[in-house]
Structure formats: C-alpha cells, structure tokens
Chain A
C-alpha cells in the first residue's frame, strides 16, 4: 500500500494506462502543465507533448477530436476542467460519442474517456460546482463512473480507459487533496460493479462520488447510536449494480440514496424507483433521498454548506425512518 492523494491516484492511473497502451493519450486545458487541479502532474515529462496535449479553451473540439481519434483507433482521455463546462460539448458527448456505435449498427466504436472534475465545497459558485452525472446516465451508449476515494479513483479510471465504450468519469475536486491508501498492484475493477464500503444490517445507504466519505461519516455517527448501515458505493452509475443494492435492501429493509447532485431529478430517483419496483414488499419505510437542495449552488460558504448535502443530513434521513 502507498498513501496517495486522489489527484495523484488519477495521474497514477493515467500513467499506468499510457505505459501499457500506446494508443492512450490525454488532452485538455492545461493538462500538459499538470492540470488545473493537478491530476496530470508528471505526464508531460514522462510521455511527451504528443501524448499529453494542451488544448485551447474549446470543450466541443476537445470531445469532438476525442470522438474522431477513438474512431480511428486511439484511446483519448479528455479532461473537462469543471463538469459544468461539459455543457459546451454536449453535442459531441450525447449525439456523437454515445450514438455512433448504435447509429452505425455496431460497426463503429468510440472508446474515449472524458474525465470531468466535479466541484462543490470549493466556494466556486453555480457554474463550477455541479454534479451532472444524471444528464449522462440518462443516455444509452455512454457509461458513467464516479469515485470517492483515491484507490477507487485509480481503479475506475483504469477500467474506463480499458473499456471499449465511451465513459464519463466523474471526479470529485473537493476530494482531490484527500489522502488514501492505494494498492501497489494494478487495480482490477469491472465497470458496473458496486462496492460495499461498510457492512451493517439496519439500513442501506446507496451513494457515489463526493458523498462517499460523507456517508461513511454519517454511518459512524449512526453506529454510535446503535444503527448499523450498509454503505453501497455504486462506483458505476451506468450501468449501475441494481443486484448489489437489492441484495443489501433485502437484508436491511430500509434504503437511503445520497448524492451530491440535486435531489430533484437526480440519479437517486432512478435508484429509489428501482428499489420500490423490485423490493417494495421488503421495505419497512419509504425509500429516502438526500441530495443538494433545489437551487443553484451558491458562492458564500454558509450558503453553499446549506445547499449541498452533509453527513448530518444523511444521518437525519436515516433517523427519520424510525
């Protein structure tokens, strides 16, 4: 085991993938200089400017070039500095990358990766703080992953790069400096598998991304009160591991879904609906959802802290189930 920051774990995964596969290259704004948040530090020196490409501020072209390069046999990994900026590239993500395989009857394939830095807890205001995974999880043809620890950041990114489909990787900027243990050996993760982060028989808390450490904090608080939570980290949001969630709920009979994104229309709604459809008879209480309040993310710290979900709010949601 080595202790690494989340950001260093990302750069480790990139370096490992680039080392093992000449087709892999990275592109994005300031990536050659290590990236705005330090996720590509060291790559330029190691792999050179052809494979570590600084781009102009051109999100549509960053993704569009990635689509074209992937169709022509490369494995581009594009960085979108803040996930909010992907709005500038939506056509290339949604109408091109996600559709090309289907529209061609399976003849073409666009195995690109888009790493999107997700803000929140940065006092970065409404255009630098959104967690937009639900937009993409809605679209057949693209996969979506998210991670909340350094080890998972490395594992899911490597799996995304190795996957033959377009994959959106949701990275949590608020966790970038957080340290965690990362195994010495290369990760083996299969997209679509959830990870049981904590075992408990009283309630299932389904979560992903930036909420993972906050949910674990909530689980600690609940344990002190004698309530033990199963914490299911989805890791892959599309295709998500409904089997793991339902297996947990069948033991606990209670479920909370917690994510950074807005509760309204968030992917938690899909998880909650699925639990209600498939495990209604096993539930002792309605499925609860915790997410950001239904307003844009504000700038000032007390406002932002109020709008974004907290460990306390997750714990309260569990307590309210009785």
Chain B
C-alpha cells in the first residue's frame, strides 16, 4: 500500500506519544511514585500503532501485561491512564486494576491482562459475538511470543479457525518471554509457522516498520471482516527494557540491546516523513512538545487526584441489578 503522509504522520504522533509516555513512566516508577510494577513497551511502538491504525473505533482488542502501547494506540485517555497507574480513584479502573488491567469498553479495549495468553480466547469470543450479532466488527488479540507456548493459544486458534471468527492474533515477537530468549523457549524459526497447524494465514513482518505493520494488519482485518477467518500476524520487534522495571537482565548483552536500538521504529518513520516533506525539524519538535504537554497534564492531574477510599475496595465485585430487575 503506498504511503499516505497524513496517515503516517498520525501514526508517528501516536508512536511519539507512547515513547514519551513510557519514558515518563520509567522515570516516575524509578522515583517511587507508582505502586506495583510496570512492564515497558518502549521499542515496540510500531506494532501497536500499526495494528490499531488498521482498526475502526468499534473494533475490539485484548491487551497484555505489556499493554500501555495498545491502550494509547487504541485511543485511550492519557489522563485516565496515568491516574490508574498512580492508583487513583479517578483512574480508568478506579484504582482497582493498575498497569496490567486497563479497560475501556467505549473504545473496545476489553482489558489488558496479567495472565499470559488469557486475552487470546477472550478476543476470539468477542469476535464470535460480533459474527453472531451480524456486526462487521473484528477483534484483535495482542500477545507475546511467550504466549504462543501456552495451551489456550492453541485451543483458541484451533476454534477460531474452525469457526472462521473475525479475529486477528497479533504476536509481538519481542525476543523474550519474561527472562527467556526466544531460542530458549521455542524451537520454531517463525512464530507464524504455528498458523499452519490451524489452516490460517501466518504472516511475519518487521514489527518496527509501522507502515508494514499497518499494511499487514489491514489485510488481515479486511479478511476477517469479510468472513474470511482469522490470521496469525507475527510482528518482529524488540523489548528495549527488561521484563519489568528494575530487571537486572543478566540474560542478554548490552550489545544486543544497542543493535536493536539502531532499528528504532521512530527514526524509521521519521525519515520517511522527511522524505515526503511531511515532517521537518520544526514540526518534529512541535509533535514532541505536544506529546510532552499532554503527558505533563496527565501526570499533574493524576498526582492531584484523590486516592480511593479504602472502603471503595468493597464495590464492583458483582453487578448490582440483574436482568429481571432484582437489586
């Protein structure tokens, strides 16, 4: 698909926003401002942005423990997002979920997930629902290379193929499953080879090339929407940070990380935009300044927001009213 500078510029802006938001989160976390732990998405921005660039607002996604990029790429509200990571009452989940459970039903974000692979059948089930409802929505499950080792990946893809559900399984092959390199957790050369077991297309692309991701996702989404069934789309990328912030990373070399940093998805997109005249130093700086301002505002609001009341912990366990009107 030929490049559309406006669309690429839009995707570039989102990648910059994810990168700067993640860098800020890393700083805030190191400064002890956030409870719990976070899994950084830095380095993988082109995958989330390219895939979400192929989706409509009413399409569904399920995300992962490394999900910040997916939430922002699908249009998540930065203020609600930061407030949630701060554990504030004003956050996406009122402070009950945190980094690994951000959910926005209005944007079709069925939840990030703390269990590796768990979002795969959930996305496929949402896709099945769309088909049964006569809607032409699709659902994307984001998953890591490690998730393709868990049983429910295979169960879900087998059933998706059997039923032609309008789902796209997007594997972010970032080279590591927790602390294990891909070579130490699976023998297959390409993750997408696993699609052959389920008679569905398996595609491997450069996950750091946002346009390549967008194009491959567009094709897979179009096939799903038209009733042609699911696709396994492997986006080869790299996790710049450790599994979690603070991970000492004894399992890889600094040289390996530096090698991948030379394949940073942002400069790649930037160079293309400059070549078409859609970006120059001034507009690049303006994009970064706008992202920084949005993050500053989100952080300031989150820091000023109230913590939940302790007894708020007792709410949202069950729906209060059921279908027949009992309450």
Residues of A near any B CB (own CB < 8 A)? 25, 50-51, 53, 55-56, 58, 60-61, 63-74, 76, 91-92, 95-96, 100-109, 111, 140-141, 143, 159, 162-165, 190-191
Verify if B129 is at the interface (C-beta below 8 Å from A). Answer: yes
- Chain B: CB-nearest residue to A162: B323
Residue from A72, A74, A102, A111 whose CB has the most chain B CB atoms within 10 Å: A72
Contact A56 B159 (CB under 8 A): yes
- Chain B: CB-nearest residue to A53: B163
* Distance of A92 Cα from B117 Cα, bound (Å): 10
Of all A-B residue pairs in the complex, the 7 with the closest CB atoms, nearest first, are A68-B125, A64-B121, A65-B125, A105-B94, A164-B319, A61-B155, A72-B129
- Given A71-B125, A101-B317; 16 other pairs, CB 8 A cutoff: A56-B159, A58-B158, A64-B118, A64-B155, A69-B132, A71-B122, A91-B152, A96-B113, A102-B316, A104-B103, A105-B92, A105-B94, A107-B92, A107-B103, A143-B318, A163-B323
Contact B324 A96 (CB under 8 A): no
Contact A103 B121 (CB under 8 A): no
Given contacts A64-B125, A69-B128, A107-B104, contact A102 B317 (CB under 8 A): yes
> What is the distance, in angstroms, from A158's C-beta to the closest C-beta of chain B?
9
Verify if B243 is at the interface (C-beta below 8 Å from A). Answer: no
Residue from A76, A105, A141, A164 whose CB has the most chain B CB atoms within 10 Å: A105
Contact B129 A102 (CB under 8 A): no
Contact B139 A68 (CB under 8 A): yes
Contact A69 B126 (CB under 8 A): yes
Verify if B31 is at the interface (C-beta below 8 Å from A). Answer: no
Contact A96 B126 (CB under 8 A): no
Given contacts A56-B162, A163-B322, A164-B323, contact A68 B110 (CB under 8 A): yes
Residues of chain B within 8 A of A68, CB atoms compared:
62, 110, 121-129, 139
Contact A106 B118 (CB under 8 A): no
Contact A103 B103 (CB under 8 A): yes
* Distance of A143 Cα from B111 Cα, bound (Å): 22
- Chain A: CB-nearest residue to B167: A68
Residues of chain B within 8 A of A56, CB atoms compared:
155, 158-159, 162
Residues of chain B within 8 A of A63, CB atoms compared:
121
Residues of chain B within 8 A of A100, CB atoms compared:
103, 111
Contact A103 B128 (CB under 8 A): no
Contact B118 A105 (CB under 8 A): no
Given contacts A65-B124, A96-B115, contact A111 B162 (CB under 8 A): no
Contact B110 A108 (CB under 8 A): yes
Q: Within B85-105, which residues are at the interface with A (CB < 8 Å)?
A: 91-97, 101, 103-105
Residues of chain B within 8 A of A102, CB atoms compared:
96, 316-317
Choice from B103, B155, B324 contacting A60 with Cβ under 8 Å: B155
CB-defined A-B contacts under 8 Å, sample of 15: A60-B156, A67-B121, A68-B139, A71-B122, A76-B125, A100-B103, A103-B111, A104-B101, A104-B103, A106-B94, A107-B104, A108-B110, A109-B319, A140-B317, A141-B318
* Distance of A258 Cα from B314 Cα, bound (Å): 31
Choice from A58, A103, A109, A165 contacting B93 with Cβ under 8 Å: A103
Q: How large is the interface on B (under 10, 10 to 19, 20 to 34, 35 or more residues)?
A: 35 or more
* Distance of A162 Cα from B303 Cα, bound (Å): 41
Verify if B60 is at the interface (C-beta below 8 Å from A). Answer: yes
Contact B133 A74 (CB under 8 A): yes
Contact B104 A92 (CB under 8 A): no
* Distance of A1 Cα from B225 Cα, bound (Å): 48
Verify if B251 is at the interface (C-beta below 8 Å from A). Answer: no
Residues of chain A within 8 A of B139, CB atoms compared:
68, 72
Residues of chain B within 8 A of A73, CB atoms compared:
129, 133
Residues of chain A within 8 A of B25, CB atoms compared:
none
Residues of chain A within 8 A of B128, CB atoms compared:
65, 68-69, 74
- Chain A: CB-nearest residue to B103: A104
Contact B125 A72 (CB under 8 A): yes
Contact B101 A103 (CB under 8 A): yes
Verify if B151 is at the interface (C-beta below 8 Å from A). Answer: yes
* Distance of A66 Cα from B129 Cα, bound (Å): 9
Choice from B60, B125, B130 contacting A66 with Cβ under 8 Å: B125
Given contacts A50-B132, A58-B155, A60-B155, contact A91 B93 (CB under 8 A): no
> What is the distance, in angstroms, from B8's C-beta to the closest C-beta of chain A?
31
* Distance of A107 Cα from B326 Cα, bound (Å): 20
* Distance of A74 Cα from B318 Cα, bound (Å): 18
Residues of chain B within 8 A of A163, CB atoms compared:
319, 322-323
What 1/0 flags go to B106-145 for Cβ under 8 Å of A? 0000110111001011111111111011000001000000
Given contacts A71-B110, A108-B110, contact A61 B121 (CB under 8 A): yes
Residues of chain A within 8 A of B93, CB atoms compared:
103-105, 107
Residues of chain A within 8 A of B62, CB atoms compared:
68
Verify if B196 is at the interface (C-beta below 8 Å from A). Answer: no
Choice from A25, A71, A164 contacting B132 with Cβ under 8 Å: A25
Given contacts A71-B126, A105-B97, A108-B105, contact A92 B317 (CB under 8 A): no
- Chain A: CB-nearest residue to B117: A91
Residues of chain A within 8 A of B122, CB atoms compared:
64-65, 67-68, 71, 96
* Distance of A111 Cα from B319 Cα, bound (Å): 9
Contact A61 B317 (CB under 8 A): no
* Distance of A57 Cα from B163 Cα, bound (Å): 14
- Chain B: CB-nearest residue to A88: B151
Verify if B321 is at the interface (C-beta below 8 Å from A). Answer: yes
* Distance of A165 Cα from B96 Cα, bound (Å): 18
Choice from A92, A95, A103, A164 contacting B321 with Cβ under 8 Å: A164
Residues of chain B within 8 A of A53, CB atoms compared:
163
Contact A61 B156 (CB under 8 A): yes
> What is the distance, in angstroms, from A62's C-beta to the closest C-beta of chain B?
8
Choice from B95, B115, B321 contacting A105 with Cβ under 8 Å: B95
> What is the distance, in angstroms, from A274's C-beta to the closest C-beta of chain B?
19
* Distance of A91 Cα from B155 Cα, bound (Å): 14
* Distance of A190 Cα from B322 Cα, bound (Å): 10
